[in-house]
Structure 1
């Protein structure tokens, strides 16, 4: 497609017109007068006239571009997509837009910061507005104890402020109470004689029930929100409080203030109760009028009323649930709910508030039935409720605390696992050098020599250390697994005979299997180790508590459907179908202070020399590496239960893994031939491997890193085999191999590493590659290299 012709600029067109006009005028004058002087004058006059027209056109005022109008309908529609109240004000302090949530919260559409939230709240929002105009953004948290206010300067000319009033989740219950007070529940309370209002700390009304509004203002005379409650209450000179509008003809009122948030400036729930005398609550022993009992029962929080003698008068359903009490046999005193150590503190606090203390206090107590987790008990003095003198509020946050502990434990275990994997890698390098030198020394000593037994002992102890590093790799989920599709009952059956011998005669083994168990994908050998480790720990726990009597070890398998997992409400365990394996004992249980540490490596409660502390950490690593979850549940004196959840395997392609070196003949290791390029950053490992391969007849080229190996490739003939470490500084093994394969695509590669194959699989996606885990012996290295030699004659290396 040809480009469109460009148009000349307007000034160029005007100049061209001026020239043509001048030429035409001169030509006409010349043709009429036959005089060149007259023709030149006409031409000059034409140029001046056109020049004047051009100047007028250029100097004429340009009409301003049309002002872009803001589509506030679109802006409001966008703001309404969120649940938080949002408002927009201009620089003149006018409200220009608000979403539905703001209108519902403030029907009179006040302009921020002048909201009906109290003087302190208005001052804080005004200060935030000044900061937002200056910096473009500001935030005020906990305004009036209810809202987190965020301000953003916006608009094409930065002349607008966007106000967002977010209600944090921690105050969601209070907001729900505000809606209850101002809604139908508050209306029913008002008709029953119990009026309620939410009042800011400076006395400003946040919400009031319709009954209080009608009695304080009269029908249809506005709202109490944003006004001082003290304006509508007066004393009658006899120590009684009444509504100012009703005067002496109205009934006296009793006030009850209930704090629901911990902040010093948090709002209060104020109850105004008609003083009808000492009418007793049905079945409560005389706590006050019926509507108070109904109101306490409606509270979404755990609330209870206590008399001056410290006895319970009433507990709502939420309080009974939070305390874990038996609804058919309710306790008489609050101290009956807590452990013995907390009884005195609770009784003293109730006695103090019953004697006239007006503030509130929070206490951390431990319930008798749930001593592991403390709960929050709020105590406040109660006035105007007949025999009730103290108000209790109980919040059982044990589930929240448990979830926080489990998340923190999982994070800590992940960090410890990474550390354990790094330590195991470094130890594997050291053990490779020790084992290699031992093997080389044993080649020069025959059995019966004075040094042979010492060298053999060093080698044996090195192998024991290598076993410990494998356990560390298991904990850090970095060991090499050979997973298969299997049934957990088959695993338990394989080790049942061994378990019976391990348990001894004093411990009874009870094994049961559920029906409909789904298959799982795991390493059968490692799962057997899991069962044995858990069983041995349970045996030791039972025998330490009762050496003569022993106990019962119970192993169960069962199917766990996704619906059951969802009903459990466990935030850690994903919703899916599982096959569960549980191991339970009848020992003394695990102390609460020990339970969070049991899966940590090297942590043990056994005597010195009787345990490495790697048993449960190995179990943890194997289960997690198999894609499962393990939980420990124990109560002191009631034994312990370890439950493993393995996801049911869905048929599909198994992940690829590096092929192990092909097994070489066991009789003798074949004599080597050809050239090997050995790349290893650890000097001691490189020296051992070079000596071992040289003794086998290979010609060995060594490089201390990937860059040096590439230089050798460029300067030397093609090697027959490349033996390389995986993790090296600057350039790792896989990156180096990819560069080498660009020149020699079919070059065999043997990777060796102190990390496990599972950990390295993501970075090693190469063909014709084998893997040799550290630590390895000289014999294992020679066999692995021999297995990679081609059966055909060696290729021509002249090019």
Structure 2
């Protein structure tokens, strides 16, 4: 146990007290002897000594301090306890008071610096003592301080100084040694030990080399490749002598000769990375890592746990096989994309594909598992979805030991869904164009048939033998005309007269009719959201949409009730909803643009639609009903009306439970021009017309032209006919006309081109166009004032009424 300063001071105080008492006794004896010699009486000297002794004893009793037991925080410190507390084997600790005296110190303090001097006056270099003195002042001022790089004869230290004590009258000093590491020696030991063996297991050769090129240490993988013997001692050998390069600057082992297996060389200077900028790499030892470009000495399974742990966290579908095609591992994304429900991968990747593709996949894996590194794709059909081929990516893996193959499979379910939707939309567009073209041409035929029926009926009276037959022909022609209107609705070419309206008003208008249509066994439930936005659509066509959907719902519910034998329980729901842009964004739909919509939902609890059929229900002439019970144009008409109104329709169904159609119509906000137009009173400029007039009829279809001419001549009009636009333009130059009645699509010069030429000559001449196309489409294409429209097919009476309306200025 080291001696303390407190014990030394106690011994010094005892010797001082003994010296003082000896001096006092000598003074009294000298005084008594002097008194005896002067008076010659020994009794007087004895009395003097006795009086001094009595006075001294009295003073000692009076001045003696009261003895009290130490208690509480004012106890006298037990420095032996402090000595035991600070006796640490890794740091020198000392305590000094405010006067700079050393109170106590542990064994390392005495060993490193001795106890003859107190800090900061320790046996250190002058610069270190100066830094220590500065830190001492900082500690008394701030309560704590530290200083580094204290250098003395015994080494270097760093110090931590803290102020302590009840009155903060002491400083606690802690001195920790600063040790320096030999990074080169440590790295050489690691490469020759466990780290080198771990690198060798992964197929990586390694060596620590001095700046002069001598090997300090190398792992067994390097020794095997360089010398052929794993136990060869390579310390001191020339590192470069084991390597060579060819004309292409590829590096390979000299011993392997004709094998010429190239390696990739990685050079890492061994130095403190924090101070590497000030170090010359050419004068620093280096760690060299050699990685094979075409294989290594390890086994691929050796590093498999680390590789699997890494790849399992990736969102990509990845798997690895050995060169024989055996599955080493597969992450969850790969198994999910392959449709493999078990969490344990199959023994071979070929087990995931159909029988016809097993051989091709196995051959591809063997091909990529050997030879030069390469990557590519192979098309296979998975057992989980044999109808849709997928692309499986393969890549040969090197540097992990024996050859291996990395497989990559993307989860393409979402992509497949989008492709299917795009294909469906493209097909619907193509079918719509075809339907529109067929309907347009068919309308010309129906116009002729209906017109000739009307002309024949004018010559026959009811009761005539031919009258009923002609009526039957006309009735079937009108039925065919209704079918063409449905085709035009699907192809978005029918005539719409849009208005700004609220969907609840349309639902209210048609609710009474719907209740009679669906019957008493089916309950009609109507629900409306608040704050619905306006929409711009044709109310008549929206009513047609509701009627078509209601008829389908009634039939589905009736079939379900008949199959189950139930007498009731059918429900048809009409719901209007407010859909905001944030709601659409949350839907993450690839089809519905982000915006505000008013939705109309038509839902029934009928037998539902099969999943294989729901993608075809909007196609013309496709029906799920029995033969003879449906034309297959109801939903196609709904689809066309919704799309032509700028909306979107989606169908959802679950067999045996429900079918739901949701129609999204964009919210329409009337602008200032629309508001002013709606508020401006309508003033119709009626012209004076007493009957008759000169009409130019331009139509390329002979039968339609003949019917229209006869119908107008019977009404008293003077009719001039032309077969195309050029003939019509020539007729304008030869005479005056009150009205031009023209077809739109004609050879050489069509109706709009002719109209523009005629307007250049006669700006006020009105036009009545006959067409099977939509009026809105026609107006966008022509866009000229005083233009009127007559949809095909029309009857004799309809064309006569339309001409009269135009001539009257209506």
Normalised-by-shorter TM-score class: 0.5 to 0.7
The aligned residue for residue 634 of structure 2 is 615
* Aligned equivalents of 2:772, 2:587: Cα separation in 1: 40
Contact 1:367 1:374 in 2 (8 A): no
**Which residue among 326, 331, 353 is the counterpart of 2:343?**
331
Which runs of no fewer than 5 residues in structure 2 stay unpaired?
1-194, 205-221, 227-237, 267-286, 371-375
**Which residue among 770, 785, 788 is the counterpart of 1:752?**
770
Contact 1:325 1:337 in 2 (8 A): no
Task: List aligned pairs for 1:281-296, cutoff 5 A.
Answer: 288-290=304-306, 292-296=307-311
- The alpha carbon displacement at 1:480 in A equals 0.6
* Aligned equivalents of 1:303, 1:529: Cα separation in 2: 53
- The alpha carbon displacement at 1:674 in A equals 2.7
How has the CA–CA distance of structure 1 residues 252 and 789 changed in structure 2, closer, same or farther, with 3 Å as cutoff? closer
Task: List aligned pairs for 1:776-791, cutoff 5 A.
Answer: 776-790=794-808
Contact 2:262 2:294 in 1 (8 A): no
The answer to which of 482-491 and 347-356 deviates more is 347-356
Deviations 1:498-543 (A, max 9, x none): 4455555676666544454322211122122223333434554566
* Aligned equivalents of 1:742, 1:382: Cα separation in 2: 77
* Secondary structure of residue in 2 paired with 1:763: helix
**Which residue among 402, 419, 437 is the counterpart of 2:417?**
402
- The alpha carbon displacement at 1:624 in A equals 1.5
**Which residue among 586, 605, 610 is the counterpart of 1:590?**
610
* Aligned equivalents of 1:557, 1:356: Cα separation in 2: 61
* Aligned equivalents of 1:726, 1:790: Cα separation in 2: 23
How has the CA–CA distance of structure 1 residues 276 and 308 changed in structure 2, closer, same or farther, with 3 Å as cutoff? closer
- The alpha carbon displacement at 1:471 in A equals 0.8
The aligned residue for residue 745 of structure 2 is 727
**Which residue among 478, 491, 499 is the counterpart of 1:476?**
491
* Aligned equivalents of 2:685, 2:472: Cα separation in 1: 27
How has the CA–CA distance of structure 1 residues 289 and 538 changed in structure 2, closer, same or farther, with 3 Å as cutoff? same
The answer to which of 775-784 and 673-682 deviates more is 673-682
* Aligned equivalents of 2:410, 2:784: Cα separation in 1: 58
* Aligned equivalents of 1:234, 1:514: Cα separation in 2: 84
* Secondary structure of residue in 2 paired with 1:627: coil
* Aligned equivalents of 1:230, 1:544: Cα separation in 2: 79
How has the CA–CA distance of structure 1 residues 365 and 334 changed in structure 2, closer, same or farther, with 3 Å as cutoff? farther
* Secondary structure of residue in 2 paired with 1:646: strand
- The alpha carbon displacement at 1:403 in A equals 2.5
**Which residue among 766, 779, 788 is the counterpart of 1:761?**
779
How has the CA–CA distance of structure 1 residues 701 and 341 changed in structure 2, closer, same or farther, with 3 Å as cutoff? same
1:466 matched to 2:478? The reply is no
**Which residue among 717, 722, 726 is the counterpart of 1:707?**
726
Deviations 1:217-239 (A, max 9, x none): 9999xxx9x999995589999x9
The aligned residue for residue 108 of structure 1 is none
1:602 matched to 2:649? The reply is no
* Aligned equivalents of 2:516, 2:503: Cα separation in 1: 21
* Aligned equivalents of 2:657, 2:379: Cα separation in 1: 29
- The alpha carbon displacement at 1:741 in A equals 3.3
* Secondary structure of residue in 2 paired with 1:465: helix
* Aligned equivalents of 1:227, 1:578: Cα separation in 2: 71
The answer to which of 485-494 and 469-478 deviates more is 485-494
* Secondary structure of residue in 2 paired with 1:395: coil
The answer to which of 310-319 and 473-482 deviates more is 310-319
How has the CA–CA distance of structure 1 residues 300 and 191 changed in structure 2, closer, same or farther, with 3 Å as cutoff? farther
* Aligned equivalents of 1:597, 1:688: Cα separation in 2: 40
The aligned residue for residue 578 of structure 2 is 559
The aligned residue for residue 25 of structure 1 is none
Deviations 1:337-388 (A, max 9, x none): 99x99687899999999999947985645586x8986655568999999999
* Aligned equivalents of 2:809, 2:506: Cα separation in 1: 40
The aligned residue for residue 701 of structure 2 is 682
**Which residue among 773, 791, 796 is the counterpart of 2:791?**
773
Deviations 1:2-28 (A, max 9, x none): xxxxxxxxxxxxxxxxxxxxxxxxxxx
* Secondary structure of residue in 1 paired with 2:409: strand
**Which residue among 713, 738, 754 is the counterpart of 1:694?**
713
Which runs of no fewer than 5 residues in structure 1 stay unpaired?
1-188, 198-214, 256-269, 280-286, 665-669, 793-799
The aligned residue for residue 43 of structure 1 is none
Residue-pair matches, total: 542
Task: List aligned pairs for 1:100-111, cutoff 5 A.
Answer: none
* Aligned equivalents of 2:587, 2:290: Cα separation in 1: 48
* Aligned equivalents of 2:309, 2:247: Cα separation in 1: 28
Task: List aligned pairs for 1:321-470, cutoff 5 A.
Answer: 322=337, 331-334=343-346, 358=369, 362=378, 364-365=380-381, 375-376=390-391, 393-470=408-485
The aligned residue for residue 75 of structure 1 is none
**Which residue among 568, 589, 596 is the counterpart of 1:577?**
596
1:520 matched to 2:535? The reply is yes
* Secondary structure of residue in 1 paired with 2:646: coil
* Aligned equivalents of 1:741, 1:245: Cα separation in 2: 85
Deviations 1:397-444 (A, max 9, x none): 222233333333333332332222222122211111111111111112
The aligned residue for residue 126 of structure 2 is none
The aligned residue for residue 102 of structure 2 is none
* Aligned equivalents of 2:247, 2:525: Cα separation in 1: 72
- The alpha carbon displacement at 1:694 in A equals 1.6
Contact 1:253 1:274 in 2 (8 A): no
* Aligned equivalents of 1:562, 1:304: Cα separation in 2: 41
* Secondary structure of residue in 2 paired with 1:548: helix
Contact 2:522 2:572 in 1 (8 A): yes
How has the CA–CA distance of structure 1 residues 391 and 537 changed in structure 2, closer, same or farther, with 3 Å as cutoff? farther
* Secondary structure of residue in 2 paired with 1:775: coil
* Aligned equivalents of 2:457, 2:623: Cα separation in 1: 37
How has the CA–CA distance of structure 1 residues 350 and 341 changed in structure 2, closer, same or farther, with 3 Å as cutoff? closer
The aligned residue for residue 127 of structure 2 is none
* Aligned equivalents of 2:513, 2:247: Cα separation in 1: 79
The aligned residue for residue 670 of structure 2 is 651
Contact 1:580 1:643 in 2 (8 A): yes
The aligned residue for residue 531 of structure 1 is 546
**TM-score computed with the length of structure 1 as normaliser:** 0.55
How has the CA–CA distance of structure 1 residues 491 and 228 changed in structure 2, closer, same or farther, with 3 Å as cutoff? farther
How has the CA–CA distance of structure 1 residues 307 and 687 changed in structure 2, closer, same or farther, with 3 Å as cutoff? same
